[in-house]
Amino acid sequence: MIRIVIILSLFAMSSLTMASDGVSISKGKELFTSKQLGTNGKSCNLCHPDGKGLTKAAVYDESELGEIINQCIKNPLKGEVLDPTSTEMKSIVMYIKSLAQSTQH
């Protein structure tokens, strides 16, 4: 009985962690400015400070934008491409799309 309670508690804790770790603009910005996407110590923000030059990228659909992002991760950042369905990719796409929205207001 104690094992069941412990297992259920661990499951509940992991579910809460996953829920709090969802897709968001802030997570996308965090990844965009961090050096963790590549292996050469650079970030997306190095070439695109504060998203400069990316407001027009928001016109692409999520799939096309994901491919462009992965090309940047693979080539300039020398990193491993992201799964298009991952929380990380969806968050970066959301952040880049938010750049265009912020200039429209």
In tens, the pLDDT along 30-75 reads: 999 999 999 999 999 999 998 998 988 878 999 999 999 999 999 9
Q: Between helices 87-104 and 62-74, what is the axis angle to 10°?
A: 110
pLDDT for the residue 100: 82
Measured in whole angstroms, the distance separating CA 22 from the mean position of its chain's CA atoms is 10
Average pLDDT, the chain: 83
Q: Can you give the pLDDT at residue 2? A: 55
The three-class DSSP label of residue 77 is: coil
Statement: residue 94 has pLDDT above 70:
yes
Supply the pLDDT for residue 13.
45
Distance from C-alpha of 16 to C-alpha of 76, rounded to nearest angstrom? 35
Q: What is the pLDDT of residue 10?
A: 42
Give the span between the Cα atoms of 40 and 23, in whole angstroms.
26
- Whether the predicted model's global pTM rises above the 0.85 cut: no
Task: Assess contact for 27 and 87: CB atoms under 8 A.
Answer: yes
